Structure 1
Amino acid sequence: MRGLEDRVVLVTGGGSGVGRAIVDRFLDEGARLAVLERDADKVASLESIGSKELVTVTGDVTSYADNERAVAAAVETFGRLDVLIGNVGMWDFSRNLVDLSPGELEAGFRDLFAVNVLGYLLGARAAAAALKRSRGAIILTLSNASFYPRGGGVLYTATKHAGLGLVRQLAYELAPEVRVNAVAPGAMATNLTGPKSLGLDRRQIKDIPIQEYLEKHSALERAIEPADYAGTYALLASSHDALTVTGTVFDISAAGTPHRAR
């Protein structure tokens, strides 16, 4: 498969989970990649791939300067930027409103919105000029929590609903040069963590028996791996397969589909 031949793509949070699955799939399809990643071990893992088609930038999506450096790295290394994939996120481990103290509510709001919403805005702002020049695309990672309850707690769900608004507004503002869409995966076992302000920075979603739940209760009765989601990103990043698609969120979360009656 070489459907992304020579497409220049910037992925934020590309060191693990869905982000790493995107990196692997896109390299296989011929893309050239820049990755903005905060974790030094994940950066080292990416660099161990040893591909001349991959450049890494160590930084934080909540910093505009770091987003700007990542865009510059893509343009300086590969000559342009065609696609921005915003993929960094935090989960709140389904903390309900009444289970949060007022202090936790305030701090958790700041932390989750900074990563899940502001991080996307800063990335889009840093990349906008380059993407307009290339008539490129933005793809954001959202969640089934962008549409439904029970995909997380009140704070996470609010951030993902906000992400839905970002897609629609940015698609309007950046048209006709830039297409803006999102992919909404469901649950999977990754090292997704939560904010330190809620004491969730050392927990990972894979510590919960997610795979067992999916096998028993999802419509497809199968566990989902990050690589299972990467194809939708490849479709939206294509220079020819999704040229009429903008302002759209693809809900690909089999786990969000009610289990059929028996």
Structure 2
Amino acid sequence: MTRDERLTKNTILVLGGGSGIGLGAALAYHRAGAHVVVLERAPDIAEKLAGSSELEVYVGDATDPDTVSEVIDSIVDNRGRLDNLTCCVGVFDHYASLRNLNAQQFEQAAAEIWRVNVLSTLSAVRLAWPALNDARGSVTLTLSESAFRGSGGGVLYGTSKWALRGAVAHLAVDYAPNVRVNGVAPGGTAATGFSGLLALGQDELSVRDSVGREERIARSNLLGVVPTPEDLAAAYVYLADPQAGRVLTGVVINADGGCRV
């Protein structure tokens, strides 16, 4: 596919960019001219991606601060700059209800989803600050329709995404004026493999295995569409574009087809 020039000379790090929405964003960044670095936890996915694309791929856990710090340092050493950090790491609660959790399950599941969905994101953004500040770059967080309404997940997942919505607003203030901070809030999306919570024995569950999921997604939005990662990618490119998006900070693009709920 032909590359355009919007992100030429930009270097972008996508955490969790080996599959799903993260991969869609990474490939779109590359098509827009950026040098794209992906941090992916699964060795088999990382190997396949490295062999089938022009993306630079690291294997590692994006929730581990030391790993993220090493990748950022490597990018700055090799490329001289980091222009955008895109965070796409997350786990799902498969609509778990607090009514059905005992005290131990609740405490462990809440700690797990906070650590993965919120704390790791804030940690990565903190670590990337010096490089992003030098480049007058940007941050793009991945939220969810759950950050705006009581749908798209259970209480644990939804509140973690509400926290990230707050993070966009507060980081935009904290990182101004040199670094823009924005977010994309997808609705239900096809071809995603969200894993569940270890604390609830959901580690082998995937949203893509849910029977009738695409039909439910189409019914849930005003446009009657089943979004794909490729459909969402344009929002990520727009927010990362230092020219088209230069006055955008503290903004969340709701890429959910007009959620009905």
Distance 2:175 2:23 in 1: 27
User: Which residue number in structure 2 is paired with residue 61 of structure 1?
Assistant: 62
Give distance in 2, aligned partners of 1:36 and 1:214. 29
Asked whether the equivalents of residues 93 and 194 of structure 1 are also in contact (C-alpha less than 8 Å), the reply is yes
Other-structure match for 1:118:
119
Q: What is the SS of the residue equivalent to 2:141?
A: strand
Give the AA of the match of 1:89.
G
Alignment correspondent of 2:256: 253
Q: CA-to-partner distance for each residue in 1:83-140, whole Å, 9 max, x for gaps?
A: 0001101110111110222111111011100110011111101100000000000000
2:117 and 2:161 in contact (8 A); partners too = yes
Partner of 1:231: 234
Following superposition, the deviation at residue 210 of structure 1 comes to 1.9
Q: Which residue does the alignment assign to 2:197? A: 195
> How many residue pairs were aligned?
256
CA–CA separation in structure 1 for the residues paired with 2:222 and 2:71: 39
Q: 1:164 to 1:216 in 2, by over 3 A?
A: closer
Secondary structure (helix, strand or coil) at the match of 1:229 reads helix
Please, which of 12, 29, 43 is the counterpart of residue 26 of structure 1? Answer: 29
Distance across 1 between alignment mates of 2:207 and 2:125: 27
Point out where structure 2 has 5 or more consecutive residues left out of the alignment.
Answer: none
| Deviation (angstroms), 1:156 | 0.4
In the TM superposition, what is the alpha-carbon distance from 1:61 to its structure 2 partner?
A: 2.2
State the distance in 1 between where 2:53 and 2:144 align: 31
Structure 1: distance between partners of 2:207 and 2:177: 38
Any unmatched runs of 5+ in structure 1?
A: none
- Aligned partners of 1:131, 1:78: CA distance in 2, in Å? 13
Assess if the C-alpha contact under 8 Å between 1:183 and 1:251 holds in 2: yes
Structure-2 separation of matches of 1:86 and 1:11: 6
**8 Å contact from structure 1 (residues 55, 73) kept in 2:** no
Change in 2 beyond 3 A, CA 1:217/1:117? closer
TM-score (norm 2): 0.94
Q: Percent identity?
A: 35
With 217-226 and 241-250 compared, the bigger mean Cα shift is at: 217-226
Answer yes or no: is 1:147 the counterpart of 2:144. Answer: no
Distance 2:200 2:258 in 1: 26
**1:69 positional shift:** 1.2
Distance in 2 (CA, whole Å) between partners of 1:224 and 1:50 is: 23
Give the conservation status (yes or no) of the 8 Å contact 2:145–2:151.
no
Indicate which of 10, 17, 20 corresponds to 1:17.
20
Determine if the alignment matches structure 1 residue 39 to structure 2 residue 8: no
Instruction: Verify the 8 A CA contact 1:35 1:70 in the aligned structure 2.
Output: no
| CA–CA distance in structure 2, aligned partners of residues 18 and 35 of structure 1 | 13
Structure 2 residue aligned with 1:5, among 8, 18, 31?
A: 8
Q: CA contact under 8 A between 1:183 and 1:232: conserved in structure 2?
A: yes
Asked if the contact 1:142/1:163 (under 8 Å) is kept, the reply is yes
Confirm or deny: 8 A CA contact 2:220 2:260 kept in the other structure. Answer: no
1:255 deviation in Å?
5.7
- Indicate conservation of the 8 Å contact 1:61/1:122, yes or no: no
Kept in 2: contact 1:34–1:73 (CA 8 A): no
Matches within 5 A, 1:77-226: 77-189=78-190, 190-208=192-210, 209-226=212-229
CA RMSD of the aligned region, Å? 1.3
